[in-house]
Amino acid sequence: MGQDLSNREQANLLFKKANQLLGFSLTEIMFHGSKEELTKTGVTQPAIFLHSTVLALTTPNLKPEMVAGHSLGEFSALVANGTLEFEDGLFLVAQRASAMQKACELQPGTMAAVLGLEESVVEDICHSIDDIVVPANYNCPGQLVISGTLSGVETACQKLTDAGARRAIILPVGGAFHSPLMEPARAELEKAINDVNFKTPNCPIFQNVDASAHIDVAEIKNNLIAQLTAPVRWTYLIQQMIIQGGTDFIETGPGKVLQGLVRKINPEVSVGAVAE
């Protein structure tokens, strides 16, 4: 993961800095570790952040006019547009991972992908269940992720299937992210965010919680804090970016998931990734 970037001088400097700040060799796991090692608590989120951010910062002539990130990716986006220094972004991501793990241990939960059902139907069914289960990710038309307690999500999956969902699949995740079960993590992350210096960005960030563009530092911080317990409004965020002039979308980081989502939201825009 990300090893091809080690031929870039600036990337190597960032890799070394990340290892020093974290106190262990993240890049050793990224470059040579097993899937089990890479998916351990405290590794996955910093690894994705590091890969995404290094690509964004070291790719020649990559100067975004607007940025966005899906969930964790919002931290990489804030480094890419100059709001956060690389070191501060990595610190917050490590704090976020730790806080989320603690919240998962306090209250077990899960998430499920729901395909082929209107958002309003999914919302109504979630609200009708006497347990914690909420829409968590509005990924693209026809794809919504729900989050909550184990029993709440299982009940919702059955009701959603009965209501006509093409599929309602429990995901292999460690907890109920972007749900009220993340409240302990939100409170812990709030303190860390308030201890970090945020600068005025050099271009707007479209944030998950309200799908709107922001350059005001106080608004950005508040939205970043709220993100852990609020849904990721990715569909509406991308639509707003297009309305405000977005025509070419470049994904940085591992995989091509976001490229696929953007194409489903609007097949007329240009979508791609930076070459490693």
CA dist 256 and 260 (Å) reads 7
**Alpha helix locations (H) across 142-276?**
150-162, 183-194, 217-226, 234-243, 257-265
pLDDT score recorded for residue 276: 52
Percentage, residues of the chain above pLDDT 90: 89
DSSP letter, residue 250: E
Fold of 3-105+180-273: Malonyl-Coenzyme A Acyl Carrier Protein; domain 2 (3.40.366)
Query: What average pLDDT does the segment 44-58 reach?
Result: 95
Check if the beta carbon of residue 88 is closer than 8 Å to that of residue 78: no
Percentage, residues of the chain above pLDDT 70: 99
| pTM of the predicted structure, to 2 decimals | 0.94
Which one of 51, 70, 178, 214 is the catalytic residue?
178
Q: At residue 255, does pLDDT exceed 90?
A: no
Check if the beta carbon of residue 27 is closer than 8 Å to that of residue 43: no
Clarify whether 178 is annotated catalytic: yes
Which one of 52, 71, 76, 147 is the catalytic residue?
71
3-state SS assignment for residue 218: helix
Strands 205-206 and 213-214: antiparallel
Check if the beta carbon of residue 215 is closer than 8 Å to that of residue 66: no
Torsions phi, psi of 11, nearest 5?
-65, -40
Q: Rounded mean pLDDT of the chain?
A: 95
Query: What average pLDDT does the segment 66-91 reach?
Result: 97
Q: Which superfamily is assigned to 108-170 in CATH?
A: Malonyl-CoA ACP transacylase, ACP-binding (3.30.70.250)
Torsions phi, psi of 214, nearest 5?
-140, 140
CA dist 70 and 65 (Å) reads 17
pLDDT score recorded for residue 39: 83
Domain spans of the chain?
3-105+180-273, 108-170
CA dist 268 and 189 (Å) reads 38
pLDDT tens-digit series, residues 19-40 = 999 999 999 999 999 988 888 8
Nearest to 135 by CA among 193, 82, 178, 189: 178
Burial of 6-37, coded b for 16+ CB within 10 Å and e otherwise, reads eebeebeebbeebeeebeebbbebbeebeeee
Strands 270-273 and 248-251: parallel
Residue 161 CB neighbours (<10 A): 15
CA 179 from chain center: how many Å?
14
Query: What average pLDDT does the segment 72-83 reach?
Result: 97
pLDDT score recorded for residue 275: 62
Query: What average pLDDT does the segment 174-196 reach?
Result: 95
